[in-house]
Amino acid sequence: EVQLLESGGGLVQPGGSLRLSCAASGFSISTYAMNWVRQAPGKGLEWVSSISVGDDSANIADSVKGRFTVSRDNSRNTLYLQMNRLRAEDTAIYYCARDELVPPAPLAHWGQGTLVTVSS
Amino acid sequence: SYELTQPPSVSVSPGQTARITCSGDALPKKYAYWYQQRSGQTPVLVIYEDKKRPSAIPERFSGSSSGTMATLTISGAQIEDEADYYCYSTDSSDNHSPWVFGGGTKLTVL
């Protein structure tokens, strides 16, 4: 069974940093494209970042480019999102999501999310 | 930046057909995907590659795409289908192109 467990959220001051983790089980993250999606309170979904298989090339939304970095540790079977220079508008639930290969579909499996609150 | 446009809300009575649209300039050449998010829950994929349905999704859910518009159709909507629905796509095959969600459509079934 595919399971994704996010952690690392919390309250942080503007300008601060957090690192989110997404621990995967039931599959190897090295063989799937992985993603971060966020949802601000009462708002819609926003794609944040994707990391592809093979070359681990990362794709980052313009709204967080230069501040957020996505990476994965295959030995720990864990996906990360390093968030620097946080702003109030980064406040959201952050979801980790895995693409599916067969049938081919993005964001086929989701974690429960971790809440990040940026406030002084 | 690329945008996908959805109506903010759609309302139907139980048993009626609900149609939720998503417009985007790249949809003639890029697939649309649809996600359902019930209140307080995580999103669930309900349609992939414009019109294909995951095996666990009821047959009343279908998708179509024509020109710059993709449509999610729920035939015979049920109370449990009340949720927010989001379309998702990209405007390029480049691995470094961003993906975007539509703004979401709140479906009310009452």
Distance from the Cα of A65 to chain B's closest Cα (Å) equals 11
Cβ(B73)–Cβ(B64) below 8 Å: yes
Q: Scanning the structure block, which residue is given the tokens 């709204």? A: A63
The candidate with the shortest Cα–Cα distance to A111, out of A81, A68, A90, A69, is A81
As a whole number of angstroms, the distance between CA B86 and CA A76 comes to: 32
One pLDDT digit (tens) per residue for chain B, 110 residues: 899 999 999 999 999 999 999 999 999 999 999 999 999 999 999 999 999 999 999 999 999 999 999 999 999 999 999 999 999 999 877 666 789 999 999 999 99
Of B37, B95, B101, the CB nearest to A57: B95
Contact B101 A45 (CB under 8 A): yes
Two tokens, residue B73:
């159709």
Residues of A in contact with B35 (CB under 8 A): 45, 107
Amino acid at B66: S
Of A61, A95, A105, the CB nearest to B42: A95
Region class of A37: left (phi > 0), else alpha (psi between -120 and 50), else beta: beta
Q: How many CB atoms lie within 10 A of CB B21?
A: 16
Q: What is the mean predicted confidence (pLDDT) over A74-83?
A: 96
Distance from the Cα of A51 to chain B's closest Cα (Å) equals 9
Cβ(A115)–Cβ(A100) below 8 Å: no
Q: What is the mean predicted confidence (pLDDT) over A20-32?
A: 96
The candidate with the shortest Cα–Cα distance to B35, out of A95, A68, A69, is A95
Distance from the Cα of A15 to chain B's closest Cα (Å) equals 25
**pLDDT at residue number B91:** 86
Average pLDDT over chain A, rounded to an integer: 95
As a whole number of angstroms, the distance between CA B44 and CA A47 comes to: 15
As a whole number of angstroms, the distance between CA A81 and CA A68 comes to: 7
b/e map of A26-54 (b: 16 or more CB within 10 Å)?
Answer: eeebeebbbbbbbbeeeeebbbbbbbeee
- Residue of A39, A107, A109, A114 to mutate, testing the B interface (most B Cβ within 10 Å of its Cβ): A107
The candidate with the shortest Cα–Cα distance to A21, out of A82, A109, A90, is A82
**pLDDT at residue number A25:** 97
